[in-house]
Amino acid sequence: MGAASSTEGEREPLLVPPDRETSIQPVYSQVYGRRWLVLTLFSLLAFMQGIVWNTWGPIQNSAMHAYDFTKSDIAVLVLWGPVGFAPWLLFIWLMDKKGLRVSLLLSAFFMVIGAALRSVSVPEQQLRRWLIHGGQLLNGLAGPTIMSAGPLLSTTWFAPDQRATATAVASLVSYLGAACSFIVGPLLVPAPNDTTRAMVNRAVVSTDTQMNHIRDRIQLVLYAEFGVVAVLFAAVLLYFPSRPPMPPSVAAASQRLSYRSSICRLLSNFRFLMIALAYAVPTGVVAGWSGVLDMILTPARVSQVDAGWIGFWSIVGGCVFGVAMARFADSIRGMLKLILVLMMAGASLASTWFTLTCLTRLTHLPSTAATLYTSCILVGIFINSSVPIFLELFIETVYPVPEGITCGVVTFLGNLVTGCLLFFLTFYSTGKADW
């Protein structure tokens, strides 16, 4: 018998793929131009959170004269930032369950109330001090969301080839705010004429005219910061969506672990814990160190303005270098560990150089303005620029744990190190001890 010609149906393959119309992948992802507006709003809020946190360190000599602060008072004002991370589990839970909008609105609300409390001018000095401390604490409560949400924002809104860059911008701009406070404070608030003697013997009292002038300039800075924070809070209230209508990538739309499963996964992942330790110790120490940089450099005869410029360039250099390295990591994948090793090696050499320079009585190495500037700036550049690379490495290591939970844990650890450092320096340091 001859073979009959096959029908159209018989020519279909035995292993049938999914429906032909669905086998061609539809467009599940889309990148929106408004992502830059969302990133800008978040970055500006993070910028102001950094400025408010670091208001007092760069003008500590002036604040000691104007409000009768001690060195311990200045350290505690900086310490309120890490203390604000105490309820970090609540904030990352809120970020995971309610999304970016609710979390950021709550953080912005804390910031605007804190900035308002600091700017209330009352004649009673003790009440004024309590209002300033309360404002700093409320600003610190915004830290868990501000410092942890950058990778979540970049994954939610940006395409994979822009994710590391967006993470770098969102996570480093808070450091940039702290850097600008090194410039804004010393330039707007005059230092007392007897700065050096005041640090050694606080019995020296400025004239009433000088003290009133310093108070007025500090009050001007507080009013300005409150005004900017209030405007940003209104902007976030008017427009800041949690997510775009369609995700920017398939990874952004994928299912993630639950909150409880994520915490268990992180705490049981030995590799993650080791990377978290490598991140938390250097970044935490340098963050606390830069917050009281003026007090650290005063015994080395560095003025308030010069200490401000050193802090400014160390953080700005780290931010610029960090964005550049993140852009490099976007184009070349698989080199995050090598980049971090090189950065940590550079930071180790720079910090050793700074330490030996400050111990000039023992090492007999020359201690000049150039060596102090260079070593401090290099430490800031290497450490601060490593932050976005670390965050990307964390996300890749523990996927599919949500980005907000992952970064919430590691930023808490970094701030824990900062808090321990400042707590030790505050209560260990005596009037005769140099920081």
Write out pLDDT tens, residues 175-196: 888 888 888 888 888 877 644 4
In degrees and rounded to multiples of 5, residue 99 shows phi and psi of: 95, 180
**Residue 320: Cβ within 10 Å count:** 15
201 assigned to some structural domain: no
Task: Tell me, yes or no, whether 27 lies in a domain.
Answer: no
Sole residue written with tokens 């992942």: 269
pLDDT of residue 164: 75
**Burial letters for 346-381: b for 16+ Cβ neighbours within 10 Å, e otherwise?**
bbeebbebbebbbeeeeeeeebeeebbbbbbbbbbb
pTM here is: 0.74
The one-letter amino acid at 261: S
With bands split at pLDDT 50, 70 and 90, how would you rate the model's confidence at 249? low
Name the 3-class secondary structure at 339.
helix
The rounded percent of the chain whose pLDDT value lies above 90 is 16
In a domain, 150, yes or no: yes
Q: pLDDT band for position 252 (50/70/90)?
A: low
pLDDT per position as a tens digit, 384-401: 888 888 887 887 788 777
Residue 130 lies in a domain: yes
292 within some domain: yes
The domain total for the chain is 1
pLDDT digits (tens, 9 = 90+) for 34-91: 889 999 999 999 999 999 988 888 888 888 888 888 877 888 888 888 888 888 888 8
Q: 271 in a domain, yes or no?
A: yes
CA distance 69 to 381: 31
- Which pLDDT value is given to residue 203? 39
pLDDT band for position 22 (50/70/90)? very low
Among 175, 135, 150, smallest CA distance to 418 is for 175
Question: Considering the domain boundaries, does residue 17 fall inside one?
Answer: no
Q: Let me know if residue 3 belongs to a domain.
A: no
Dihedrals phi, psi of 10, to nearest 5 degrees: -70, -20
Residue-wise pLDDT tens digits, 97-124: 888 899 999 999 999 999 999 999 888 8
| Structural domain span for residue 309 | 33-190+206-241+257-430
Find the CATH number of the domain harbouring 426.
Answer: 1.20.1250.20
> Does residue 306 register a pLDDT over 80?
no
CB-CB contact of 329 with 339 (8 Å): yes
Q: How confident is the model at residue 199 (pLDDT cuts 50, 70, 90)?
A: very low
